[in-house]
Chains A and B, each alone.
Chain A
Amino acid sequence: MKYTQGQYIIKEKSAIAREIYSFTISCPEVAAAACPGQFVHIRAKGFTLRRPISICGIDKEKGTLRIVFEIRGEGTAEIAKLNAGDLIDILAPLGHGFTVNPDFKKVVLIGGGIGTPPMLPLAKAYGDRAAAISGFRNASAVILQEDFRKTGAETILCTDDGSAGIHGFVTQPFTELAEKGGIDAVYACGPMPMLKGIAAICKEKNIYCEISLEERMACGIGACLGCACRTVRNDEEYFAHVCKDGPVFKAEEVLW
């Protein structure tokens, strides 16, 4: 099985910041197949299109997945109305995830805003070999910092307004880490300008970099070709699709 669709029980729900929710879903067969960087496609009652949400936690032993999402519009607001004990309709696990290489000795994980959750399974995989840089608008938007610390990763927090952690963008501490050298890989998810900046630094320093993209999608599995993304493969321009070829791409493949 690559992916499946079904209704699964929400085991836990919590609000972890303003309009940001965490669900833990009991779905053993999905958890067994899931990898860091993949996503779940959630049916929102009353809406035609499902909502793609990245996977924030995979517990293969307990058979659970964790997702953390922000209310962005009416569809995600509908999903946020679900409670522990309710059934959630998901099509999952979907997409091409991050490459986890056990030989990497030092990796940097960079999350911007609601792009932070997919970094957590990587932090779990790499433990103290990872530095997790997270950036948010302000202190009230900060999420998951304790979860990152528990993995053993070095955690670096930034806010745009300086109300928590470093005052500034994630690219500042990342540039400092990159200057020191010894980084085997960088993984990032967040707003496009942030990803573009990180990709440029990695290119300059010759560091392997994977990024997770977002696009409006319909089917989620590569059939409808809605979520096109301009990439280069084998020196040729190619419309890849975020749902199936991504959401994770090598930064060097993306045409910004």
Chain B
Amino acid sequence: MADMSVKVCGVDFKNPIIPASGVFGYGREYEELFPLDKLGGIATKGTTLHLRTGNLAPRIAETPSGMLNSVGLQNPGIDHFIETELPYLLTKDLVVLANIAGSTPDECAEVAAKLEDTDVHMIELNISCPNVKQGGAAFGTSCEMAAEVTKRVRAVTKKPLVVKLSPNVTSIADIAKSVEAAGADAVSLINTLLGMRIDINTGRPILRNNVGGMSGPAVFPIAVRMVWQVANAVNIPVIGMGGVSSGRDAIELMMAGASAVQVGAAIFTDPYAPVRIVEEMNDWLNSKGISSVKDIIGTVKPW
């Protein structure tokens, strides 16, 4: 058995696999299938100051080797999270990354401030949701706005602050550098890529929101490229995600520079994917005689 533990911003994870925000709710539904403590961590459903109802359906469309979603940050609000969901998650042996979002920098800071007196382990600030009109990707696609939101949240929290980046930008490395300079302790990437499908029989987009965020195996090479570029541009840890569906994918993303790996759409294909990925990583490490998963982080040898 290889040592699967990793450390990100001083926080210990027993293994590097974390279900990504938005695919896993607050964990309860999947606990029917496996104990949550098999996971390294959980990135909770993106949570805002107040309850959000989200976008109209259809919110899901399939794509070749992937999918689109336009859920639109439906969530019960941060107070519900703190009162009902967080205490439950904190009884589990795993790292809780509270994914937070807001329509304005002030709102993001207000949500983060509410978490300050809780025992949540990390905050993942979502500046990259493509499915909301205000905030979301509007913050994450400009270096200035990304830095501004990060600064405002940094000012109200001592918790480790991970900023989740959008791939829908010209240079993700520049955005990463700007949030690092603004006080982020880590970055996570990639959020979904903006996409669209049309039902040719009706001429209407499949998603009621017309466009949505693309995820799944089809985006994996983009995630590897961006994680590699960002890991080379910043001095803070990178949490990688985007189309990871196997242990080999997770290892590839870690070689590209990720210190931990989030798993998203793969869970819809195989609900056991996060647990299976940990096992597959361990098997691969053992087969190579590598004693610790930490030893593969950033080991890619570029040509």
Q: Chain A: residues with CB nearer than 8 A to chain B?
A: 1-5, 43, 47-50, 75, 91, 215-230, 237, 239, 244
Tell me the bound Cα distance from A222 to B29 in angstroms: 7
Contact assessment for B29 and A227 in the assembled complex, using a CB-CB cutoff below 8 Å: no
Is B205 at the interface (CB under 8 A from chain A)?
Answer: no
Which residue of A5, A221, A222, A226 contacts B69 across the interface (Cβ within 8 Å)?
A226
Which residues of chain B come closer than 8 Å to A3, judged between CB atoms? 32-33
Which residues of chain B come closer than 8 Å to A224, judged between CB atoms? 22-23, 25, 60, 69, 71, 268
Contact assessment for B30 and A49 in the assembled complex, using a CB-CB cutoff below 8 Å: no
For chain B, residues 222 to 241, give those with C-beta under 8 angstroms from any C-beta of chain A.
none
Closest partner residue, chain B, to A224 (CB atom): B23
Nearest CB in chain B: distance from A86 CB, A: 18
Closest partner residue, chain B, to A5 (CB atom): B271
Contact assessment for A223 and B25 in the assembled complex, using a CB-CB cutoff below 8 Å: yes
The SS class assigned to the B binding surface is loop
Which residues of chain A come closer than 8 Å to B298, judged between CB atoms? none
Closest partner residue, chain A, to B207 (CB atom): A216
Contact assessment for B58 and A216 in the assembled complex, using a CB-CB cutoff below 8 Å: yes
Contact assessment for A221 and B32 in the assembled complex, using a CB-CB cutoff below 8 Å: yes
Nearest CB in chain A: distance from B204 CB, A: 13
For chain B, residues 54 to 98, give those with C-beta under 8 angstroms from any C-beta of chain A.
54-63, 65-67, 69, 71, 74
Report 23 cross-chain contacts, Cβ distance below 8 Å, ordered by A residue: A3-B32, A4-B33, A5-B33, A5-B272, A43-B270, A48-B66, A49-B268, A50-B269, A218-B268, A221-B29, A221-B32, A223-B23, A225-B54, A225-B59, A225-B71, A226-B57, A226-B71, A227-B57, A228-B57, A228-B71, A237-B53, A239-B54, A239-B74
Which residues of chain B come closer than 8 Å to A216, judged between CB atoms? 57-61, 206
Q: A5-B271, A228-B54, A239-B53 are in contact. Are A218 and B65 (CB under 8 A)?
A: no
Which residues of chain A come closer than 8 Å to B32, judged between CB atoms? 1-4, 221
Which residue of B30, B59, B62 contacts A48 across the interface (Cβ within 8 Å)?
B62
Nearest CB in chain B: distance from A235 CB, A: 16
Which residues of chain A come closer than 8 Å to B56, judged between CB atoms? 228, 230
Which residues of chain A come closer than 8 Å to B61, judged between CB atoms? 216
Is B24 at the interface (CB under 8 A from chain A)?
Answer: yes
Q: A2-B32, A49-B67 are in contact. Are A228 and B59 (CB under 8 A)?
A: yes
Tell me the bound Cα distance from A226 to B23 in angstroms: 9
Tell me the bound Cα distance from A47 to B57 in angstroms: 21
Closest partner residue, chain B, to A46 (CB atom): B65
